[in-house]
Amino acid sequence: MSALRYMTAGESHGPCLTGIIEGIPAGLKLDLTAINAALGRRQKGYGRGGRMKIETDTAEILSGVRFGETLGSPITVMIKNRDYANWTERMAAFGAADAAEKVTAARPGHADLAGALKYNRRDVRDILERSSARETAMRVALGEIVRQFLEACGVTVSSKVVEIGGVKASLAANDANDEELNCTDNDAAQKMRELIDTAKVAGDTVGGKFIVTATNLPVGLGSHIQYDRRLDAKLAAALMSIQAIKAVEIGIGCECARLLGSEVHDEIFADENGAVKRRTNRAGGLEGGMTNGEPLVVAAVMKPIPTLMKPLDTIDIADGRAVSAAKERSDVCAVPAAGVVGEAMTALTIAEAMLSKFGGDAMTDTLAAINAYRERVRTFIPTDKRER
């Protein structure tokens, strides 16, 4: 059984989203304000739609925490959907089905049609409510809980947007961060804004790419032993599970297909203290399915959101007629928000790997195990054998 497990539940316009996370050691001090701040970051971003003007997400902790500290028992989190007040009849758990108008024009690029066929539903709303990216609000809340665990272990996780609609930011740029786009290249950010504005006028949408970085990770998280213990595989699955993500890269990613081995692999050296390091980090901090001590760098590509204000052609699943796709309140661009979700999924995956390796029912035990391991790795090359 995994050392850390979690599950979310709830529909986009239902009463609430709920989540349960189990495996966080007892004695972790939790900051509820920081959880709500993370939820706020997910809701912001240039190109976001009308739903964000209705919802102001706040998390309620229903179990597993007492006086601000985790108890070691499952933590239950709830986020109420404020918009549910406008959907009580249409989303009633019980009542007359004819109270709600059916959605039958499946959107290209969405879960609508495949879900309706798989689950034999004649109303696409039965699919779109759960497949909606609204679900990621709970992932962000749970991700912030494990981020606080990771921070207590000395690990930090962050993200930035590096491309929107073909406009690429310089990875070397370190301007003041454009918070609405989470981009540190101001020239690129301005072009991204203009592109989003143009797409909005056209009733279209744009996608992009974000990078998530985790620093100060211990060497050896994950394993080469079996396919399902490789950390790179788990990270790829976690990021691909985010709605609208179509590709994941680790380190220089797809560039590996265009370079020689001498241009890809990171040479190894021992610093003045005998610590083993790499001269570069093209591998993105992962080798053989394990962390290698360098910063973890993963990227994810988000497709344009499939709900268009100028809808594409589709069919009506009720009778097969050619119609325009259904429209839901939607965003023009949600790449900055997806980056926040990417941070959460990366943090959840790393935290599971940390707890699998170091264990501990109490934070004191977990931290003691991590510190002892870091010291062993630090002194891997004996003092008397180190190059002077």
pLDDT (tens digit, 9 = 90+) per residue, 107-162? 999 999 999 999 999 999 999 999 999 999 999 999 999 999 999 999 999 999 99
Residue 385, pLDDT above cutoff 80:
no
pLDDT at 52 exceeding the cut of 90: no
Mention every residue, 6+ apart, whose C-beta is less than 8 A from residue 18.
8, 9, 10, 76, 77, 78, 79, 138
- CB under 8 Å, gap of 24 or more: what pairs does 270-276 form? 270/381, 270/386, 270/387, 273/378, 274/378, 274/379, 274/380, 274/381, 274/383, 274/386, 275/378, 276/380, 276/381
Amino acid at 268: I
Q: Any idea which residue has 């370079």 for tokens?
A: 259
Q: What is the pTM of this model?
A: 0.95
In the predicted model, is pLDDT for residue 55 greater than 90?
no
Please give the single-letter amino acid code of residue 126.
Answer: D
Dist. CA 139–CA 374, nearest whole Å: 30
Tens of pLDDT, residues 282-321:
999 999 999 999 999 999 999 999 989 899 999 999 999 9
Burial call 281-313: b when 16+ CB within 10 Å, e when fewer: bbbbbbbebbbbbbebbbbbbbebbbbbbebee
pLDDT level of residue 383 (50, 70, 90 thresholds): low
Does 208 score more than 80 pLDDT?
A: yes
Average pLDDT over residues 192-220: 97
Better-predicted residue by pLDDT, 98 or 12: 12
